[in-house]
Structures are given as C-alpha cells and as structure tokens.
A = this chain, B = another copy of it.
Amino acid sequence: MAAAHENPDQLVTSSDPEHPANLIPSLCAKFWTLGWVTGTGGGCSIRDDNLVYIAPSGVQKELMKPADIYVLSLKDQEPSLKQRTYLRSPPLYKPSQCTPLFLAAFTRRGAGCCIHTHSHWAVLVTLLLEAKGSSVFEINNIEQIKGFGKGMGKVGNLGYHDTLRIPVIENTPHEEDLTEYLEAAMEEYPDTYAVLVRRHGVYVWGDNVHKAKTQCESLDYLFQLAVEMHQLGLPWISSIAQIGPQR
C-alpha cells in the first residue's frame, strides 16, 4: 500500500480483468445494456479488504474507464461518514452521492460489492406498493427466489416456498441523506440483501461481486415478473401446498 500511496493511479492500474478497477467498468457497461444505469443514474462499488472502489458521479456508465474510479480506505474514514478521505480521486469527476450507502453495505453487512440501479421495474414496484400503502415487497413460490442467500452469516439460500421480503424506504432529495433510512431498513430486515428506494431504484449487495451481481439480476427478474403479474391480475403471494419429499 505504501507504493500505492506514493502513486495513487497504481490503485486502479492492473492487467487482471478481475481487479475492481477493471470489473466496475465492465459491470457498469453490462448494466447499461440492461437499462439499470441509464443517463448516468445508478452505480457500483467493490470492496477488497479495506479498500473500496467506487464509480464517480455523473459518468456515462457504459463508457467508464478504470482511471475514472475513486478509491478510499475503510480504515481512514471518520465515524461521521460525511467526511471522507480518498486514496485516489480521478481528476475530472465528483464523488458519487451513493458513497455512504455503499459504505453502509460494506461496514454493516460485510458486503464485498454493492450495486445501485434505477431499473424502472424496481421503480414501478415501489409505485405499486405506494398505491396500497406498503413499504415492503413480498413474493413467494417463484423459483428465482432461490437466487438469494438466507441472510448475512446464515448458510444457504432461500427456498422456493420462502417469502422474499425487500423493504422500501422513502426517497430523499439528496441521495446521501438516504443513508440513515437505508441503515434503519438493514436493522429492521437483518436478512435482506437489498433495499428498494421509492420512486428511485434499488440497492443490492452481496458477499462478493458474483453474489451481488446475480442477486441483483434475480431481483430485477422478480420485479419485472411482479409488475407483469400485477397487470395480469395475479397476486405476488400465494398459498401452495408443497409437493415432493420433505427434507
């Protein structure tokens, strides 16, 4: 790390495609094709031990380069998250307003990666829930639910008959002000790997890049399915008798 401090650009320079500074741009380019990070919205952050790599604010996500990435150390941060010290800042950008939300996933949930999308499926789900006065998305008896872990520190994934619950927090004018509400939702739903933000999008995390990305994909699939089920008059929660052997 000493060398990195001497030349911060080394923190984002690697020939390994799995290096966070290379992974974030390639992931964001993929997310752009999925409509998750349209118009510079959304973002992605990866934690490698104490180092955190973050996409900057206001960048076209499909065009991002490793040189655009911010790097900070979790060790250097003040208890108040408002003041942040960066090991490496790209010259042309501003830090992402999502930064304290990503840090919450890393410090409070031990996540290795956190993805924020503006997927319109996520937004529509929050609008449908708002119309019935609800602040939690619930769905069960769909195979894709098995794409989610049972919760931090628990072994294995949810089962087909389990109910996936994703809390919804209200949006704030300034994204960083979401942090306290996100953290409160983490406390209230300790097993969740995602928090919906009303009229805004979703934050999804995981123990590592693989889990964050595949949980984010599975969740977007379920949000799309839920909207389509609603349009077809089909309920999200059903009561189905289990078949097959008990285990």
What residues of chain A have their CB less than 8 Å away from a CB belonging to chain B?
35, 38-41, 60, 118, 120, 123-124, 127-128, 131, 141-144, 147, 159-161, 170-174, 177-178, 181, 197, 199-201, 210, 213-215, 217-218, 220-221, 224-225, 227-234, 240, 242-245, 247
Contact = CB atoms under 8 A, between A and B. Distances in A.
Contacts of A233: 131
> What 6 A-B pairs are tightest by C-beta distance, nearest first?
A172-B244, A39-B218, A143-B200, A177-B244, A39-B217, A39-B147
Given A38-B217, A123-B142, A173-B247, 14 more contacts: A39-B147, A39-B214, A39-B218, A120-B225, A120-B228, A124-B228, A127-B234, A142-B199, A160-B173, A161-B173, A172-B244, A173-B244, A178-B244, A227-B228
A131 B60 CA distance: 35
Contact of A60 (B160, B161, B214, B243): B214
A197 B144 CA distance: 12
> How many copies of this protein are present in the complex?
4
A126 to B, nearest CB: 10
Given A39-B215, A221-B39, A232 B232 contact: no
